[in-house]
Amino acid sequence: MIKLFQIKNYAIPNTIEEAYQLLNEKRANTLLGGCGFLKMGKKTIPTAIDLSHLGLDKIKEDENAIEIGAMTSFRAVEVSSILNDHFDGILPRAVKEILGVQFRNVVTVGATVYSRYGFSDFITALLALDAYVILYKGGKIPLAAFLAQGCQKDILIKIVILKKNTRAAFHAMRNSQGDYAILNVAVSKENNEFKIAVGARPQRAMIAREASKLLGEGQLSEAMIEEVSILAAKELTFGSNMRGTKEYRQILCKALVKRGIKEVLS
Ligand SMILES: Cc1cc2nc3c(=O)[nH]c(=O)nc-3n(C[C@H](O)[C@H](O)[C@H](O)COP(=O)(O)OP(=O)(O)OC[C@H]3O[C@@H](n4cnc5c(N)ncnc54)[C@H](O)[C@@H]3O)c2cc1C
């Protein structure tokens, strides 16, 4: 008999505190996002905690920041006028190639970021922006620090992105439409400050710090862009899997970084 994931009890709390209490009652109690990943596994869940009554599915904007609630779907990110109007629409662009609309209608921002998937397109795009995660217990943490730290049992409430006059670009290479990216790259520019984020290495996304710094300091010539792209491919580590070798990823990194820089300078 094929074993599927099983839920013993289903809870739909009305407060985040209630959800947190339920989560910590038993080790295997599990939060539900859109279940894209959960339903592919074989986990037996004593209590599954549905976060959909907590109002966490909103994208909001004020003078200083944009907030994306944890239960916001990728489709909502894709069609959001707020997100299309900021950062050159990098977040909608990063999710629009992920499988089909039906899939993007259900998968959620919170589950994606909390799970720190190495292949994630959304995380790479977010990393190039000034983004923070807000955890129920852990509070506000810069995304880069959150990605570097280990997993603690917590609830991701929302993502906050500081609103700046940021230019941004996202590029990914896939073997075929619908597949995971072999590599993805996001580049941002705010005045003279650049961030080059590279994901699907296949490890989780990281900022190429030396390359980003060099780009902010140098003359923005063709030769400098070439030098920065070589440095990014050199300072980051890459691995091999069924989608591509580490050598191929290194070559792709150079090409996609170059493309991203040229786009934010255009
Ligand atoms: C077949 C397939 C192909 C995919 N292809 C791509 C791709 O090409 N590019 C890409 O970027 N992504 C891809 N993804 C990943 C997808 O975009 C989502 O990131 C993924 O499905 C998780 O989102 P979910 O809402 O389905 O999470 P779920 O499966 O519901 O949950 C995943 C985990 O997150 C936990 N969780 C849920 N919500 C929270 C919260 N608020 N706080 C803390 N923990 C939480 C859950 O307990 C669970 O452990 C793919 C996924 C699948 C299944």
- Collapsing DSSP states into helix, strand and coil, what is residue 203? coil
pLDDT at res. 1: 65
Mutate to test the pocket of ligand 1, among 23, 32, 37 (most ligand atoms within 8 A of CB): 37
Cα–Cα distance measured from residue 21 to residue 92, given in angstroms and rounded to the nearest whole number = 34
Cα–Cα distance measured from residue 44 to residue 50, given in angstroms and rounded to the nearest whole number = 16
With a 6 A CB cut-off, is 37 part of the ligand 1 pocket? yes
pLDDT at res. 207: 97
With a 6 A CB cut-off, is 33 part of the ligand 1 pocket? yes
Cα–Cα distance measured from residue 209 to residue 126, given in angstroms and rounded to the nearest whole number = 16
Nearest to 185 by CA among 49, 105, 90: 90
Reported as half-sphere exposure (CB side, CA atoms, 13 A), residue 202 has a value of 12
With a 6 A CB cut-off, is 40 part of the ligand 1 pocket? yes
Beta pairing partners, 60:
67
pLDDT at res. 150: 73
Residues of the chain scoring pLDDT < 70: 1
Q: What does DSSP say about strands 44-50 and 30-32: parallel, antiparallel, or unpaired?
A: parallel
* Cβ count within 10 A of residue 26: 13
Per-residue pLDDT tens over the stretch 8-52: 999 999 999 999 999 999 999 999 999 999 998 888 999 999 999
Ligand 1 centroid distance, CA of 20 (Å): 19
Query: Which residue's CA is the closest to the ligand 1 atom numbered 28?
Result: 35
Is residue 176 packed enough to be buried (19+ CB in 10 Å), middle (13-18) or exposed (0-12)?
exposed
Q: What is the 3-state secondary structure (H, E, C) of 131-175?
A: EEEEECCCEEEEHHHHHHCCCCCCCEEEEEEECCCCEEEEEEEEC
CA 60 to chain centre: 18
pTM of the model: 0.96
Nearest to 88 by CA among 128, 143, 147: 128
